[in-house]
Amino acid sequence: MRKYIVAGNWKMNLSFDDAEELIESLIDLKKGDELEGLLMIVFPSFPYLELATDLTDEVDVYIGSQNVSNKEKGAYTGEVSASMLNSMDVAYCIVGHSERRKYFKETPEQIREKIDLLLEQAIKPIFCCGELVDERNENLHFLVVKAQIEQSLFHLNTEEIKNVVMAYEPVWAIGTGLTATPEQAEEMHAYIRKLISDKYGESIADEMSILYGGSCNANNARNLFAQPNIDGGLIGGASLNADDFYRIYKSF
Ligand code: PEP
pLDDT digit string, tens, across residues 52-111: 999 999 899 999 999 999 999 999 999 999 999 999 999 999 999 999 999 999 999 999
Decide whether any atom of ligand 1 lies within 6 Å of the 216 Cβ: yes
Q: What CA–CA distances, in Å, run from 221 to 29, 79, 243?
A: 18, 34, 14
Q: Which domains does the chain have, with CATH numbers?
A: 4-249 (3.20.20.70)
Ligand 1 centroid – CA 75 distance (Å): 32
- Rounded Cα gap, residues 104 and 82, in angstroms: 19
Predicted structure pTM score: 0.97
| Helices (H) then strands (E): counts for the chain | 12, 8
Q: Which residues pair with 184 in a beta bridge?
A: none
136-161 residue pLDDT tens? 999 999 999 999 999 999 999 999 99
Nearest CA to ligand 1 atom 6: 236
